[in-house]
Structures are given as structure tokens and as C-alpha cells.
Amino acid sequence: MKRLKIKTEMLRRNGPVIKSYSIDGSILPFADCIRDLGIHHDCRLKYDQHISNIVHNAYECAALILKSFHSRDPGILKRAYCVYVRPLLEFSSHIWSPHYKYLIDKIESVQRYFTKKLFGLSKLSYCERLISIDLDTLERRRLIYDLISFLL
């Protein structure tokens, strides 16, 4: 039977406590961020890295939709956005839902970008664009998902 040996080294000068774990003399590497079930978990339980990753992927997918579809019909493009982009931004949001304004704006920027590129909507404000194509803000949708998760 293998033994797990835990050796703790304390560093107090503005640094975190570093723990090194070893199994039979082999030191296991320390990871600041791990990915579990598609969510990047930080060692401080911050989801900045996860949000950056999903926003990057969502921008790429949104740009690909706008580039690939020959139709400029806002209804068709909205459906493609709802099927391919929005799930990237909402997957397990009840776990990583941000409460900082800059993270909320970072996520919302994908929908702002996409709706601004739709035909005939570029001159409208973001709220007017959402009303005209019948979409909710991503922040409101996350709040609804949080309430549903809380009630279940």
C-alpha cells in the first residue's frame, strides 16, 4: 500500500502557503487552476480564467456564424446565436456566475457584439436591439438560472 506524505512549507512574506504532496517519494505538481467538467476552477475559487476562456470561445463562434451565413435575416442569425453561442456563455453558470461588474460586462460584450452586427440594428442602443429581436441580457438569464437552482 502506497503512503501519501504531506510536507507543508510555510512562506509568510506576502506569499501563499505552499504544500507539496508526494506519493512514495514522487512529488506531485501543484496546479493553480484545474479544469473539471468544463469549468476552470482557480485555487482561490475565482473564475476569471474560466470567464476569459468562454468569452474567447464565444467570440470565435459568433464571428464564425456571422461569416458563414449568407442570409442577413436577424431571425435566422438570432436562432444560430441561441443554439451555438449562448450555451457557451451559460453552461453551469450557477457555479461560476460573476458578481464583479467588469466580469459581467466581459460576458455581456459577446451579445453586444453579435447584436450590433445584425442587419438594421447597428445604430440602436444595446437595450433597443435586445427588445427588437426579443432577447434578454445574459446577466438576467443567469439570475433566472440562479433562482431556479435555488428553488430546486
8-23 pLDDT, tens digit each = 444 445 555 556 777 8
- Calculate the average pLDDT of the chain: 87
CA 53 to the chain's CA centroid: 6
**Identity (one letter) of the amino acid at 58?**
A
Q: Give pLDDT, residue 137.
A: 96
pTM of the model: 0.79
Asked if 71 contacts 77 with a C-beta cutoff of 8 angstroms, the reply is: yes
Q: Give pLDDT, residue 28.
A: 79
Q: What is the pLDDT of residues 87-134, one digit of tens each?
A: 999 999 989 999 999 999 999 999 999 999 999 898 999 999 999 999
- In terms of DSSP bridges, do strands 26-28 and 4-9 run parallel, antiparallel, or are they unpaired? unpaired
Asked if 22 contacts 7 with a C-beta cutoff of 8 angstroms, the reply is: yes
Q: Give pLDDT, residue 8.
A: 47
Percent of all residues in the chain with a pLDDT value above 90, rounded to a whole number: 61
Region 36-59: mean pLDDT is 92
Helix (H, G, I), strand (E, B) or coil at 28: strand
d(CA 54, CA 85): 10
d(CA 34, CA 103): 20
**Identity (one letter) of the amino acid at 56?**
H
Question: Cα Rg for the chain, rounded, in angstroms?
Answer: 21
Q: What is the dihedral of CA 133, 113, 87, 101, to 10 degrees?
A: -110
